[in-house]
Amino acid sequence: MGSVKRISNDIEATANDRSGRKVSRQCEHPSLPPDGGLHAWFIVFASFLTNGIVFGIHNCYGIIYLRLKTHLEQAGVNEAALKASLVGSLSIGMTFFVSPIAGILIDSIGLRRTAVLGGAIATVGMLASSFALAHVEALYLTYGVLFGAGTSLAYNPSLVILGHYFQKRLGFVSGLVTAGSSVFTFTLPFFLEWILGLGLEATLQILAGMMGLLMICAITFVPRLTPTENEETTTNVEGSAGCSRLWKKYINFSIWKNKKYVIWAIAIPIAMLGYFVPYVHLVSYVKDVLPEADGKVLVLCIGLSSGVGRLLFGKIGDLPKVNRVILQQMAFFSIGVVTMLLTLANSFTWFIVLCLFLGLFDGCLVALVGPIAFDFCGPKNASQAIGFLLGLHSVPMTTGPTVAGAMYGALKSYRLPFLLAGCPLIVCAIIMLLIHRVKDQQVDDDESIETANNSTKRKPMENSDVNGNESSRETISYAVRAVPSERVKGEHAVSDRSSGIVVEKTAVQGSNRKPVRAISSNWSPAVGRYHVPPTAYGTTESSTNPVFLTSFQRNASAILW
């Protein structure tokens, strides 16, 4: 016989997303993200620093690369340029490749511990690199693997934590946080040029100190929601059954039953085949077309407009009538078109204009990755949803630029590689159309995934019949109070595990309140527990029985009035 859970401990909340559906998420308490407050904004600042430090150093590796290549050449290392570039490629590749592990660790040991662990590993990796400059194979391990993996473990929690504190402003704060990479990418080169005067070894040691800041930032990542419980394991399971349960304990397979997320997770890695080609080869391409032009100016234009785009489109994505998925589709399509148009540019002015648009739409798609993951999977599943999505980036994001470089080597021209690079982005936008075609689904409640109808607005029915005489599915407003299980006697005792809680409801009709005593003894799984977030808080009759106003989807046949 399952135990009765208190409403203050376990409420099944349904949040409207920006993709035209609702997503059910199981909250440890009924309140929604506060969308503000000193601690929440302090977390935003810490996440901003985390994103800036991580991707600022990754994006500015080109400056370190030049000094490392010279150092290896002086040490007599063969193919110094190739080996120095491989060090940087390994680090950025590991940042994305380890992301699924980061998502699993977030659910297993928590946001703060994962982020602190990541900061510690990144610090050790960078510090060890300063003592391994004479051995490039050691740099593969210290800078490539350890530093890259550490930044991944530090970066992912900085995105996930935002959904714990923001809902209405999630798009804006995601844009603000991810803009950190643009700000640091713009400012860090000047700092690196200055400290490189102290030597490469000292530079890496100073950067190791910056990595230590990641651990300080991670301390602020106090989660408000606990991760979804997966399949429990017992100590006496053996063989394949035991392995299966072990996998289910740590990996949230429920996100892969969400068809909209699956389509999204397939489409975006396809786009990554062409997405990074302009960033890697733009300077070389401009040098071929306009030998006298300074390609670094174009990189600066992309960085600045990307930061603006993250803030602008993050804010736009928070508007009630804006569909975030469509917004991201437009961004992918636009980047694909702009990448192709770069082959037609014949003046530096046109290159600047196109690069400004490229950065603007880049900011749009980056800012919306986190919010869309929260929309599709809810905050308790978002950690692994984001982690696996970024993990799927790792192979195509390195393959695309490599293939483009090989094509340039054979053709001695970037025109065809850039034309082909735009195609995967447009294909991604087309595939994402399927997201809007997928019917709403409902998965088992234990997996914390449910989709409701396509309404994006909550409309309480002011004249609903509280006697259950209306249609089988309605939306009604109630003031709800938890009833301790010890008060429930006899036939009203709840024995069904899925029933969750026993409550006392008061129907609200306009300004009149008509009390109705209702004991839920037969909630059906189709209705589940209470599928709505609080929309406004009422007064508290006692410290143990909080009263709050919510909107419920009810099934008349599943409730005993």
How crowded is the C-beta side of 58, counted as CA atoms within 13 Å? 27
Residue 120: partners with Cβ closer than 8 Å, 6 or more residues away: 150, 215
Q: 431 and 503: one domain?
A: no
Query: Quick one: which of 97, 163, 178, 144 has its CA closest to 389?
Result: 97
Task: Say if residue 107's pLDDT is above 70.
Answer: yes
Render 162-181 in DSSP notation, one character per residue. Answer: HHHH-STTHHHHHHHHHHHH
Phi, psi of 297 (to 5 degrees): -65, -40
The whole-number pLDDT of residue 485 equals 37
The whole-number pLDDT of residue 243 equals 52
Q: How confident is the model at residue 546 (pLDDT cuts 50, 70, 90)?
A: very low
The whole-number pLDDT of residue 356 equals 94
Task: Say if residue 289's pLDDT is above 80.
Answer: yes
Residues 102-125 have a mean pLDDT of 92
d(CA 94, CA 89): 8
Cβ 378 vs Cβ 449: under 8 Å: yes
Residue 8: partners with Cβ closer than 8 Å, 6 or more residues away: 29, 30, 482, 546
- Indicate which CATH number applies to the domain containing 391: 1.20.1250.20
Of the listed ranges 236-245, 358-367, 512-521, the one predicted with least confidence: 512-521
Tell me what percent of the residues of the chain surpass a pLDDT of 70.
67
Q: According to the 3-state scheme, what is the secondary structure of 523-553?
A: CCCCCCCCCCCEEEEEEEEECCEEEEEEEEE
Q: How confident is the model at residue 334 (pLDDT cuts 50, 70, 90)?
A: very high
Q: 428 and 471: one domain?
A: no
Within a domain: 435: yes
Q: 308 and 432: one domain?
A: yes
Q: 46 and 193: one domain?
A: yes
Phi, psi of 429 (to 5 degrees): -60, -35
**Two structure tokens written together for 297:** 């100016």
- Residue appearing with tokens 């174009």: 298
d(CA 527, CA 525): 5
The most confident of the ranges 129-138, 501-510, 539-548 is: 129-138
Q: 298 and 360: one domain?
A: yes
| H or E element at residue 534 | strand 534-542
Task: Say if residue 302's pLDDT is above 90.
Answer: no
Q: 91 and 168: one domain?
A: yes
Domain-ending residue, one of 226, 247, 272: 226
Query: pLDDT: is 244 or 264 the higher one?
Result: 264
Cβ 418 vs Cβ 340: under 8 Å: yes
The single-letter code of the amino acid at 290 is L
Paired sense of beta strands 503-509 and 22-27, if any: unpaired
Task: Say if residue 495's pLDDT is above 60.
Answer: no
Phi, psi of 60 (to 5 degrees): -100, 15
Q: 508 and 532: one domain?
A: yes
Cβ 314 vs Cβ 175: under 8 Å: yes
The whole-number pLDDT of residue 393 equals 85
DSSP state of 131: T
Cβ 130 vs Cβ 104: under 8 Å: no
Within a domain: 243: no
Q: How confident is the model at residue 78 (pLDDT cuts 50, 70, 90)?
A: confident
State how many domains the chain has: 3
Domain-ending residue, one of 450, 475, 497: 450
The whole-number pLDDT of residue 339 equals 94
Q: 415 and 499: one domain?
A: no
**438-485: pLDDT as tens digits:** 875 543 333 333 333 333 333 333 333 433 343 333 333 333 333 333
Within a domain: 4: no
Within a domain: 245: no
Within a domain: 231: no
Q: How confident is the model at residue 288 (pLDDT cuts 50, 70, 90)?
A: confident
Judged by DSSP in three states, 184 sits in: helix
Within a domain: 467: yes
Phi, psi of 427 (to 5 degrees): -60, -40
The most confident of the ranges 24-33, 198-207, 381-390, 532-541 is: 198-207
Angle ∠(136,138,142) on CA atoms, nearest 5: 115
Of the listed ranges 4-18, 237-251, 262-276, 407-421, the one predicted with least confidence: 4-18
**Two structure tokens written together for 495:** 């024995």
Which domain, by its residues, includes 172? 35-226
**Two structure tokens written together for 526:** 């189709």
Q: 418 and 371: one domain?
A: yes
DSSP state of 459: -
Q: How far is CA 15 from CA 31, 82, 375, in A?
A: 12, 49, 8
Q: 46 and 72: one domain?
A: yes
The most confident of the ranges 61-70, 80-89, 144-153, 276-285 is: 144-153
Q: 443 and 480: one domain?
A: no
Overall size of the chain counted in residues: 561
Phi, psi of 187 (to 5 degrees): -95, -30
Query: pLDDT: is 456 or 369 the higher one?
Result: 369
d(CA 333, CA 427): 8
Of the listed ranges 89-93, 253-257, 402-406, 513-517, the one predicted with least confidence: 513-517
Burial 523-556 (b: 16+ CB within 10 A, else e): beeebbbbbbbbeeebeeeeeebbbbbbbbbbbe
DSSP state of 391: H
Task: Say if residue 486's pLDDT is above 90.
Answer: no
Burial of 418 by CB count in 10 Å (0-12 exposed, 13-18 middle, 19+ buried)?
Answer: buried
Q: How confident is the model at residue 344 (pLDDT cuts 50, 70, 90)?
A: very high
Residue 539: partners with Cβ closer than 8 Å, 6 or more residues away: 547
Residues 36-58 have a mean pLDDT of 89
Task: Say if residue 282's pLDDT is above 50.
Answer: yes
Domain-ending residue, one of 450, 470, 489: 450
Within a domain: 242: no
- Residue appearing with tokens 């259950």: 468
Query: pLDDT: is 438 or 230 the higher one?
Result: 438
Q: 174 and 323: one domain?
A: no
d(CA 309, CA 315): 10
Q: How confident is the model at residue 490 (pLDDT cuts 50, 70, 90)?
A: very low
d(CA 20, CA 310): 22
Query: pLDDT: is 482 or 281 the higher one?
Result: 281
Task: Say if residue 517's pLDDT is above 50.
Answer: no
The most confident of the ranges 400-414, 462-476, 521-535 is: 400-414
The whole-chain average pLDDT of the chain stands at 72
- Residue appearing with tokens 């003894």: 521
| H or E element at residue 41 | helix 38-59
Q: How confident is the model at residue 518 (pLDDT cuts 50, 70, 90)?
A: very low
The whole-number pLDDT of residue 349 equals 92
